[in-house]
Amino acid sequence: MRAFKLALLILALVPVTWVREPLPPPPSVSIVHRVDLMPGLRKSLPQTGELTLDGAWQFVSNTRRLATLSGLAQTDGGFVAVGDRGGILRFSRPDRPGPWRARLDRLAPFESREQGFPIDAESVFVEPATGKLVVGYEDAPMLERFSPDLSRGDKIMLPVLAEWPENQGPEAMTRLADGRTVIVGETYSRWFDLTRHPCLIFPGVPRSFEAPARAEFILPSGYRPSEMAQMPDGRMLMLGRYFSVGGFRSIILMFAPQDVRPGAVITPRVIARIDDPRIRDNFEGMTVTREADGSQMIWLISDGNEMVWAQRTLLLKLRVGPEVR
């Protein structure tokens, strides 16, 4: 794998932009379906700490790519989620009246990915001004920046990502309102310390070979960061997950954007725990919306890892009440 990372860096010495034909029109019948789980949960609503469960859905499909979703971001038309097999799911909000739309595509060009380019997408954010998608990958010292229709893409080579071990890459990544990009690794910063995780801070959307500032996050022991998002009111959230023989557990932590600065050691506060067996799963994606009434909703999506007998692709909607500070 290290040889693969080195090869990617060598290839990147010449900037590359690839282009493909526009995507075909959406199919008339979606291959992704939603199942509303709330009717079975309302009689005894799962407790989630300081947040309130406001919606829960399971996504099902006849393709394995649906069961690998890892990163989640908000778009003008709803949401976009990226996954481990180079898949991308774009879908409208399931809590709105009218037809629900969902479409599975591939992050292009898939032909080159079959020749060794990364397909394990772990994190994503959308640039507000351009609508471009910036995607982070497991086991690859690079990001990719896609046009909104996925017809064009640019590689952003970041050798600093090669410092992180295999399968412990940029799980958590977001763009802050002030323009900075923050990336947090799933790996641990120190040997025998299961609480500290490395953080990279870029002044804007990263540029190839740019050297970031560094910081550290401290999470409860054994929990690993799996996503990060900024709330509309400016506060920051981190999603953490823990796996044991008993299954997955997730936590949502809160911190201030000004805490993220060079050399900082940041200890976010836990505001929610997702451990009810009816809704817990391998949650890896998170984004936040502001509702018409001014409230804020946290959305989580899980990676089913193609283990349909043990895991599901779930979407949770959690309300942030005024008491959450």
Instruction: Give the predicted TM-score (pTM) of the model.
Output: 0.88
Instruction: State the sign of the Cα–Cα–Cα–Cα dihedral 107, 111, 117, 120.
Output: positive
CATH code for the domain of 188: 2.120.10
How would you write 85-114 as a 3-class SS string? CCEEEEECCCCCCCCCCEEEEECCCHHHHC
Alpha carbon of residue 203 to chain centroid: 20
Alpha carbon of residue 42 to chain centroid: 28
Domain count, the chain: 1
Please give the Cα distance from 77 to 89 (Å, whole number).
12
Q: How confident is the model at residue 81 (pLDDT cuts 50, 70, 90)?
A: very high
The number of C-alpha atoms within 13 Å of 170 and in the hemisphere containing its C-beta is 28
Q: Which of 281, 180, 189 is nearest to 236 (CA)?
A: 180
Residue type for 283, please? Answer: F
Pairing of strands 152-157, 142-146: antiparallel
Structural domain span for residue 70: 2-16+35-320
Residue partners of 44: CB distance under 8 A and separation at least 6: none
8 sits in which H/E element: helix 2-11
Residue 109, pLDDT above cutoff 80: no
| Domain assignment present for 29 | no
Asked if 84 and 71 count as a contact pair (C-beta separation under 8 A), the reply is no
| Domain assignment present for 72 | yes
pLDDT in tens, 217-245: 999 999 999 999 999 999 999 999 998 88
Please give the Cα distance from 300 to 302 (Å, whole number).
7
> Poorest-confidence range of 98-107, 113-122, 210-219?
113-122
| Domain assignment present for 230 | yes
DSSP 309-321: TT--EEEEEEEE-
Please give the Cα distance from 272 to 283 (Å, whole number).
13
DSSP state of 21: P
Residue type for 222, please? Answer: G
Task: Return the SS3 of 195.
Answer: coil
DSSP state of 280: -
Mean pLDDT of 54-79: 84
| Domain assignment present for 87 | yes
Q: What angle do CA 170, 174, 177 make, to 5 degrees?
A: 160
| Domain assignment present for 30 | no
Q: CA of 271: how far to CAs of 44, 52, 142, 200, 263, in Å?
A: 21, 11, 32, 24, 25
Quote the pLDDT of residue 165: 87
pLDDT in tens, 183-219: 999 999 988 889 999 999 999 999 999 999 999 999 9
Please give the Cα distance from 9 to 196 (Å, whole number).
28
| Domain assignment present for 109 | yes
| Domain assignment present for 201 | yes
Token pair 């953490």 is found at: 240
Mean pLDDT score across all residues of the chain: 85
Quote the pLDDT of residue 78: 93
Task: Return the SS3 of 66.
Answer: helix
Percent share of the chain, pLDDT over 90? 62
pLDDT in tens, 121-180: 899 999 999 999 999 998 889 999 999 888 778 899 999 999 998 878 899 999 999 999
Percent share of the chain, pLDDT over 70? 84
